[in-house]
Amino acid sequence: MMTLVTGGAGYIGSHVVKQLLETTEEEILVVDNLSTGTQGRIDTLQAIRPFTFIRQDLNEWEKLETLFDEHDVGAILHFAAFIVVPESVSEPVKYYMNNTVNTTKLIDIAMRHDVKKFIFSSTAAVYGEPEITQVSEMTATEPINPYGMSKLMSENVLRDATYAQKDFKHVIFRYFNVAGAAVDGSIGQSFPNATHLIKVAAQTALGKREEIFVFGTDYDTPDGTAIRDYIHVEDLAAAHLKALSYLDTSESDTFNVGYGHGFSVNEVLATMKEVSEIDYKITMNPRRAGDPAQLISNNSKIKELMGWQSRHDSIALICKTALDWERKI
């Protein structure tokens, strides 16, 4: 059986594919429309060992059905989604159609083709703006933007599908702020018009942008800027491999994936200045719609049940790998 990775040419998906290729003998099938991923990243991954790549959009449902008819897929790791919070506020239907409708169709096809495992890329945005400092998987889900809601709706579809078909099992990962690049420098984030803070900071430090904008300086945080739980992309990728083996002996479940502590926007920007040794320009702006003041994970569940442990829990390392990748490209 093959492991299907949707969005496997993208930022997070490619790091998962890399670890699958390096540490397993699984036959890999990557499906990506290359809207944010690149053929160059596919070529880099193919150099590790060959795998099947199909350029296709998930809204091409007839082609997707044919793909499952032609390939014996046993597990799916689903990364193909839109992820920009402000864009989700201005273009909500775009997010619901791709993140919820296409995911629902993928689940439907997977169930009818006897897929056993489904690993879903969700988000901490499903928690909205919680009143507590650290959120656990039991924290109420109250998204404050269409991005978070589109993911929460997909979570519910997946849970209901699993309940209806007992041998179809899932793991839902609620990501916190993913950043950095492969430590060996082979792949990283190449998202066009990036909005992720650490990547944008690296671009500004290297002169690819004239300045970086901070959105919101009046949050109820120690320095007034928003606080996030930043996790290195390789640690996040490793959790997905853990999930595949976890489902061999365990039931479906939902897990936070973060480090359990946070850094403010100002702290991140100061770290990037220290790592790059460049004093770049920062411009303060009002808050954006849909951004909570702080979001930090309680990650005890994934540590206890999956045995997942971080290897790169360092904001300096995260910034350095992001900067090194930005220099490379």
> Which of the residues are catalytic?
147
What are the tokens at 304?
Answer: 């206890």
Find the DSSP H helices in the chain: 11-23, 39-46, 61-70, 85-90, 92-95, 103-112, 146-164, 197-205, 233-249, 265-276, 300-306, 315-328
Cβ(109)–Cβ(69) under 8 Å? no
In 3D, which of 260, 323, 265 has the Cα closest to residue 292?
A: 265
For Cα atoms 244, 10, 177, give the angle at the middle one, nearest 5 degrees. 75
Rounded Cα–Cα distance for residues 24 and 158 (Å): 26
3-state secondary structure of 53: strand
> How many alpha carbons fall within 13 Å on the CB side of residue 62?
0
Q: Please give the backbone phi and psi of residue 195, each rounded to the nearest 5 degrees, phi first.
A: -120, -10
